[in-house]
A and B are shown apart, each in its own frame.
Chain A
Amino acid sequence: MADLTTEFLGIKSPNPFWLASAPPTDKEYNVRRAFEAGWGGVVWKTLGSEGPPVVNVNGPRYGAIFGADRRLLGLNNIELITDRSLEINLEEITRVKKDYPDRAVIVSIMVPCEEEAWKAILPKVEATGADGIELNFGCPHGMAERGMGAAVGQVPEYIQMVTEWCKKYYSKPVIVKLTPNITDVRFPARAAKAGGGDAVSLINTINSIVSVDLDQMAPEPTVGGKGTHGGYCGPAVKPIAMNMVAEIARCPETHDLPISAIGGVTTWKDAAEFMALGAGNVQVCTAAMTYGFNVVKEMISGLSNWMDEKGYTSTQDFIGMAVPNVTDWQYLDLNFIAKAKINQEDCISCGRCFAACEDTSHQAIEMSADRVFTVKDDECVACNLCVNVCPIEGCITMEEVPAGQIDERTGKVVSGEYANWTTHPNNPSATAAE
């Protein structure tokens, strides 16, 4: 079995699966259970300044969207940072870290955007023996209205400033957690780096209204007849998170900035994908909140099995491997030609490919009177929609048309030579091919 031991910012953990700062890491009780289940590390739920803690609503805090059989696909929350006192949290963190020296314990912090506030809390956090801190610049609801969370994360100058304070008053690694509620995630990432941040973690939750109660005519979760926007997470947000991770990983200014990836990690495969896109480890919340801490067991065995199959002996072997293959559209090979192929043995004749192609794409699938579906190569642009709507995995495949053969749609011979938009004659700003 492959060794999953991962070192992130010099912090060792037995596997790359950390629990994200969220309700599962709010208390010593939960964190101990998480470590017993096998989690490699935790980011403790965000601490606030000393004094009376925040209060949460006393109605519903979560809303959800579902797939088939009420499989939870997306979760939204309006919960705030920890509503327990700073002292109790610090005591618990100290005890837990002492009892689990081999696990990563990171402390998430959100205090007002004033140097004094950070200066006051950081030595206390340092005294717990925790391995590092994560700056919560992401929460989009509640705290942002008080000038914290996403309100900071949306202003790169503030990110840099607060990160600098943290590096000044804290000796261990500083991870800057980024909000996705911005237009270009590279700006806050650059600011984190400029401020001396050791790593970024992303994404925090996405601003969202998850559903509307059509009887009360109010957003859900509905508290006393009203609702507010909350933070969206879970499997549904993974594609958004992966793009943001990749954008930072392939940006020349930030490509060396370590990334802890967050966003819908539910199985080992999600983690492997994030790590292939450059993440050093992953943080999980919704999967644990949906299924309990034992989900980590599948993540561990799955990632390990996959690494064995691929011959990887360490997570370092594949971290970032997909980054060089993330490119801009303009560099995609326009001479790459493929055609859909329907495997008749696997086909169950549902006709979904036909409906999708005929109604919404390129009219490239033929339907016979006895429900045999075949691809018309002279119409197929290889858009992949038929593959995506087919209920049988692997039934429809995309087959590359090899060089030298004719693309029946264009009547041209496939050249096999790489050519992209930058040199295409239809591009008004094309540069001549060399």
Chain B
Amino acid sequence: MASSHQASGIHAGRLAAAEIADNFGDLHPAYDPHEAAVAADRCYFCYDAPCMTACPTSIDIPQFIREIQAGHPASAAKTILDQNILGGMCARVCPTETLCEEACVREAAEGKPVEIGRLQRYATDTVMEKGVHPFSRAASTGKRVAVVGAGPAGLSAAHRLAMLGHDVVIYDAKAKAGGLNEFGIAAYKSTEDFAAREVDWLLKIGGITVEYGKKLGTDLSLEALKGDFDAVFLSIGLAGVNALRAEGEDLSGVRDAVDFIEELRQAEDLTKLPVGRNVVVIGGGMTAVDAAVQSKLLGAENVTIAYRRDRDAMGASRFEQDLAASKGVTLMFNVMPKAIHGNGAAAEIELEYTQVEDGRVRGTGETVRLAAEQVYKAIGQSLQGQPDAVELEGGKIMVDATGRTSVANVWAGGDCASGGEDLTVTAVAEGRDAAMDIHTSLMG
């Protein structure tokens, strides 16, 4: 029978539609008002709260939780969105277990933090469901700013700039806005087309035009943008994918994890999305986990994450690791790909065990073979298509604390820029802060 876990090769429809729908439901279901009240009551309203310090966007967490406690989620949402205009998405995708919730004093006290992420979602959902956009534009400044890339950093910068009275044009290479929120994260973290709904909601501020299908380097040039606008903000993300550098990388069935995730996120019908019986994901970050878990949820029988270092070195948080394990994904540590075997199409992957000596990974010579019709590469992304004029630092566009690049009137933020972790929430903070600096610069 073709439509089952055991069917050989790469097939669509391994699971029934109902099971697929169930699998791709919300990872953390939304609180109802009673659950939110109970969760909010657990907050101690700490002085100089550690959770707030741990938040890259510095949301006043005790304040917004207190507003939920007091029965006013709309005020709570305003407190969140003031600092983080993508607070709705961050509530869904932030690795809270390594940020605010890790810092929560109740984590220290009893190993059970206040569920800040879910409370944030409760507050932001409340206003977004009502279609309320609690910000309005300042009087027009007559200044124009170009934003290149409609991901979290670009959207955050654009919103702040528009709010301050500037006119913004966002250019994006794709046909939809949202960046990784729309294309690059697991579907169960952004259900019911949330990323797109959030963009629509964000654009309600007004003063922002989005032009799709415009790619820097081919359709746009930094020089031209500099001429047409008073300032430019680059938020082009990391478009390149690192190569495996293993024999057999060109076999069919071997592809970039980000492409698979994008295809899955844009798929109209997940029962029509093919998945292998045996899937191996190479890498140790969130992308690796998102690709592996979703392969499993589509019905793959055996899914393995193969990571070249040990568990502690893994980029994905312990929560993400446990999530993968709970869905039936096997986590293999200290193995690296040596070769992919198959006659035109991948059939097996040969992994070599590793040792880490002085921080460097070395093969031990011992190998193991796993069946693999699909091999996903999730070993990191790299900067691609950046303008030649900007100076780089560590493979990213060099910026200062306020996002200024080496080129006058050009700022950058998000994953493409140096400094900070590659997280949605960090990108939002960088976009916001660059916007404030652009504003100061334009109005000064």
Contact = CB atoms under 8 A, between A and B. Distances in A.
B44 interface: yes
Nearest to A68: B41
A372 to B, nearest CB: 13
B10 interface: no
A351 B48 contact: yes
Interface of A: 68-70, 348-352, 354-355, 367, 371, 391-392
Given A348-B108, A349-B105, A350-B105, A70 B47 contact: no
Contacts of B49: 351
Contacts of A354: 47
Contacts of B285: none
B211 to A, nearest CB: 47
A371 B52 CA distance: 14
B319 interface: no
Interface of B: 34, 37-38, 41-42, 44-50, 105-106, 108-109
B165 to A, nearest CB: 37
A354 B105 CA distance: 15
Contacts of B46: 349-352
Contact of B38 (A69, A348, A351, A391): A69
Nearest to B42: A68
Contact of B109 (A352, A371, A392): A392
Given A68-B41, A69-B38, A70-B37, A355 B47 contact: yes
Contacts of B45: 352
Contacts of B50: 349, 371
A355 B62 CA distance: 14
Contacts of A69: 37-38, 41
Given A348-B108, A371-B48, 15 more contacts: A68-B42, A69-B37, A69-B41, A70-B34, A348-B106, A349-B50, A349-B105, A351-B47, A351-B49, A352-B45, A354-B47, A355-B47, A371-B50, A391-B44, A391-B109
Contacts of A349: 46, 50, 105, 108
A384 B106 CA distance: 23
A391 B109 CA distance: 10
A319 to B, nearest CB: 37
A351 B48 CA distance: 7
A352 B47 contact: yes
A68 B50 CA distance: 22
A349 B46 CA distance: 8
Contacts of A352: 44-47
A348 B106 CA distance: 7
Contact of A350 (B34, B37, B44): B44
Contacts of B109: 348, 391-392
Contacts of A355: 47
B41 A350 contact: no
Contacts of B38: 68-69
3 pairs of A and B residues whose beta carbons are closest in the complex: A351-B47, A68-B41, A355-B47
